[in-house]
Amino acid sequence: GDKDKGGMDVREAQAMAVNLDMHGAVLSILGLPLARQLSKKIGELDKALDGDRRDLFSLCHSLVQRLCKGSRMVQALLYPHAAGMQKHMGIGGLDVESTLAAIVSGNRALVEETGEAWISLMFKTMAQYQARRARWLEAAMPLVCP
């Protein structure tokens, strides 16, 4: 399989993370509140009021994206928690959209389960913030082109 720089198989590392309940710890962190200052400018992202927490959330999103890559097991574990992650869409410094895409990417069953509401939320968010980030369009791809 794919090896990381330390020689451990990526799937082994993903399984180890699941066995250690790393996803549970990350979900606990992402469940914490993150107050935002709503932007007054059209197309501008909202600002997190707690920069340290935003940075912690950003790292959590990066980890979730990596854990999900090529692992249907991890995707299935995280999918039920995606709605909670959606509340942070539109906050500058957070790549929630790519996290949501990673949770369903390459997993047709989960893409079909997302339904119209999730896809609609992604597109409404892109419209609200004028899709100024190319990665938002990339994040929407697994939902509309599975």
Each domain of the chain, given as residue ranges in start order, spans: 10-144
Whether 110 and 145 have beta carbons less than 8 Å apart is answered as no
Q: Is the pLDDT confidence value at 128 over 80?
A: no
* 3-class SS of residue 3: strand
Give the pair of three-digit tokens for residue 90. Answer: 């539109």
Distance CA 51, CA 105 (A): 29
Give the pair of three-digit tokens for residue 37. Answer: 């200052």
Q: Is the pLDDT confidence value at 3 over 60?
A: no
pTM: 0.79
Q: Which residue has the higher pLDDT, 52 or 144?
A: 52
What's the one-letter identity of residue 68? C
Whether 118 and 82 have beta carbons less than 8 Å apart is answered as yes
pLDDT averaged over the chain?
83
Residue 146 — very low, low, confident or very high, per pLDDT cuts 50/70/90?
low
